[in-house]
């Protein structure tokens, strides 16, 4: 037990430093994203004033085009503002603010990251990065590539990347996990309870056994992966495993920690990373593909991978630590 606690404390110190760096980079991504949309040349012959007559969303495996006239800049700033609000909420709660949680991790060796939304979000986001990297390495060794859909314009691509965390979390996690869990486990029926359950299933449903929950999460995660390679403008087949595992992890995050956490984990995999990629692409006048190989993106990747490895170690050790404590208390 003491040795396990010492290992946890030893992992907590570098983890807190890395999480703080990622936190700072997340804050910087907000102005980088606005620069990309309103000041860069990634749109070539179109800019933020370009009108679109259809709002495309990806819900429950279906690509839906909603007839709606809007300018790219207007739609971007609406979703950008929502993310700013959600980000501020995650910094401040639910129990401790970000800085207090990091301080506890540094000075007291407290390894429970659940007291602050954002610390927990960064933990699960970095774990997704590590697992996705492993999957990509294995698939490439077998000649399986992961290629994105062909987008006509990089500006409309960045807009789609920005919108996806909200539309896909509502379309997959809320509709396919939250609603079924409410129908199966709800102990009372009211409009208020329905929506509070969809906001945070774990806190509102009296679920004693997680087996059925995990089964639903895995099924929806697999469907999420499949939807990425068969619906609308699909990815190549290599995306299935990455998207499925990410969908399972985000599904668990949604169930256990709530919709706000799921949305921002998805936001981190989309907007956060790509705001840097598109900014570098414009700054150096290189393609998006070449920007992925830039040294700054490589540095960001190293930070995320190390954070993810430490987070995985912490999750595993915390699991055994809790198990040992239960045995000792019996």
Cα 237–chain centre separation:
21
Whether 186 has a pLDDT exceeding 80, the answer reads yes
For the chain, the domains span 2-329
* Mean pLDDT across the chain: 87
The pLDDT value given to residue 193: 93
pLDDT digits (tens, 9 = 90+) for 229-287: 887 667 677 788 899 999 999 999 999 999 999 999 999 999 999 999 999 999 988 88
3-class DSSP state of 148: coil
**Please, which pLDDT band fits residue 5 given cuts at 50, 70 and 90?**
low
The pLDDT value given to residue 328: 65
**Please, which pLDDT band fits residue 302 given cuts at 50, 70 and 90?**
very high
In DSSP notation, 53-97 reads: EEEEEEETTEEEEEEEEEEHHHHHHHHHHHHHHHHHHHHH-BSS-
The residue to which tokens 């609308």 are assigned: 232
Instruction: Output the CA torsion 36→38→39→44 (10° steps).
Output: 80
pLDDT digits (tens, 9 = 90+) for 154-182: 888 899 899 989 999 998 999 999 999 99
The pLDDT value given to residue 77: 95
Q: Give every CB contact of residue 95 below 8 A, 6+ residues apart in sequence.
A: 115, 116
| Minimum mean pLDDT range among 53-67, 142-156, 273-287 | 53-67
CB 182 within 8 A of CB 203: no
| Minimum mean pLDDT range among 6-20, 205-219, 243-257 | 6-20
d(CA 265, CA 284): 28
d(CA 31, CA 65): 29
Q: Is the peptide bond before 193 cis (omega within 30 degrees of 0)?
A: no
Helices and strands in the chain: count of H runs, count of E runs:
14, 2
pLDDT higher at 185 or 109: 185
pTM of the model: 0.90
**Please, which pLDDT band fits residue 199 given cuts at 50, 70 and 90?**
very high
């Amino acid at each position: 037990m003491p040795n396990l606690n010492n290992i946890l404390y030893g992992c907590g110190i570098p983890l807190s430093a890395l999480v703080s760096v990622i936190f700072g980079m997340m804050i910087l991504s907000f102005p980088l994203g606005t620069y990309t949309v309103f000041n860069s040349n990634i749109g070539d012959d179109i800019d933020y004033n370009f009108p679109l007559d259809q709002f495309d969303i990806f819900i429950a495996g279906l690509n839906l085009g909603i007839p709606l006239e809007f300018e790219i800049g207007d739609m971007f700033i609406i979703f950008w503002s929502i993310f700013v609000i959600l980000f501020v909420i995650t910094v401040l709660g639910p129990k401790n603010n970000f800085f207090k949680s990091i301080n506890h991790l540094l000075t007291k060796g407290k390894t429970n990251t659940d007291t602050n939304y954002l610390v927990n979000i960064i933990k699960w986001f970095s774990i997704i990065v590590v697992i996705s990297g492993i999957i990509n390495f294995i698939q490439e060794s077998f000649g399986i590539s992961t290629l994105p859909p062909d987008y006509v314009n990089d500006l409309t691509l960045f807009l789609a990347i920005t919108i996806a965390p909200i539309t896909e979390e509502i379309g997959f996690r809320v509709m396919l996990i939250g609603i079924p869990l409410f129908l199966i486990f709800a102990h009372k029926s009211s409009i208020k309870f329905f929506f509070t359950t969809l906001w945070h299933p774990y806190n509102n449903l009296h679920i004693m056994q997680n087996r059925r929950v995990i089964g639903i999460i895995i099924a929806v995660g697999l469907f999420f992966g499949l939807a990425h390679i068969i619906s609308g403008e699909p990815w190549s087949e290599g995306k299935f495993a990455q998207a499925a595992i990410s969908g399972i992890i985000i599904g668990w995050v949604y169930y256990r920690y709530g919709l706000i956490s799921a949305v921002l984990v998805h936001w981190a995999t989309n907007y956060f990373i790509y705001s840097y990629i598109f900014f570098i692409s414009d700054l150096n006048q290189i393609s998006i593909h070449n920007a992925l190989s830039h040294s700054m993106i490589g540095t960001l990747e190293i930070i995320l991978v190390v954070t993810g490895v430490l987070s995985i170690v912490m999750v595993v050790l915390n699991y055994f630590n809790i198990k040992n404590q239960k045995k000792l208390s019996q």
